[in-house]
Structure 1
Amino acid sequence: MRGQISLGIDNYINGVSANGNIKTGPNCRFFKCTLTGNIEIGRYTSLWGPNLDLTVGRSQILIGNFCSIARNVSIQTYNHNFKKITSYYIGQNLFKEKWKNEQVYKTKPLVIKNDVWIGAHCVILGGLTIGNGAIIAANSVVTKDVPPYSIVAGSPGKVIGYRFEEETIIKLENLKWWDWSINKIKLNKFIFENELNTELLDKIK
């Protein structure tokens, strides 16, 4: 690991390459992944490789709490410049020069909010926001913002459904359970061990 690395307590780390300004919350799980650049990750988030790559150019990747990101996922904030005669990095690889316009950088942070599940073999492009509770199906390519609690699939990714009814989604967005203290989460264990319904939401302590 190189750079300014700040790790939360009780993290599980195995086979990780990290280089940059990287900060994590407590109780995260990192397995066979690569983190490069300015990256901030919340508590209890899992990046479970192998071949899981987060690469930042000139912006930032922000990942919330209780997220699950699977193997073979690529998340990056820059791309090839295909408006030139070649999309190949010819300046770097043939002329041995650094050209400012050889890559296209996103300056807006890439934000993955809380309780997001990203399935295996996905590509997430820079400058977008994935809302709370969203699911990205395996093999998807995400090129635009993802609404809260939506299910996105395909290449390019499209919304194919929602996890809950609109009324429930609004309640969950206001509830913000991912920000609760661990004591409050444990006190309301019943809401996590059962499939969600409005009656359960009304019983929250």
Structure 2
Amino acid sequence: MAFIAGSSFAGASVKTERAVCTGRAVVKMSSDSDVTRRQLLLGALAAMVPAAALAKGGDSPKYSIFGGESQSSPFVYMDQRKGNAVYKALNDEELAEITKNLAVNRARLEETADFIDLPSWDDVRSLVRLEMYDTRHNVKKIHESLDDPKRVDRAEKVYAQFKKDIEALDYACVVKDQAKAKKARAAALKSFDSWVSTTGVSI
């Protein structure tokens, strides 16, 4: 808050907390004859030198965020068999986790055979719906990581067929048609394997 002394704004003396602090600093500087503006400037520059040295020093980066020359990049997975960048935006650990999940997704689809034979339609639908939600997430990650647009296009078409087969399986369970359910399950497994082959994923 400002405190105004006097009856006129033109000749008013305005004091604020900031002005008081600044005034004290000025008085202290003027009372110390050894401190000059030049010395203060040199001192400030000297304080900046170690920070700059630390910024430039140290080990070189072990990986490059943007895929530059480095020992490795978290955005590129190298297929050692071909020597070409097959996957992007995935490191080795992420790719291993996704492929492991995809293997589980397929195994769960295999397990529906027992429920179809019983039959236990609710169990088939629950298992398929649960696993296909996870499958969709994993497939999306793989599609985003592929660097070949043509391969992505083929993979999306095959995956679209897989989804149709899964929908056919779900419908067969709704109408409780065992023959259609078995046929749709077999078709879904075939289209899933076709997608795996198209993307080059190893599960």
Bucket of the pairwise TM-score, normalised by the shorter protein: under 0.3
Normalising to structure 1: TM-score of the pair? Answer: 0.21
Higher helix share: 2
Larger Rg: 2
The answer to which structure, 1 or 2, has the higher relative contact order (CA under 8 A, 6+ apart) is 2
TM-score scaled by length of structure 2: 0.21
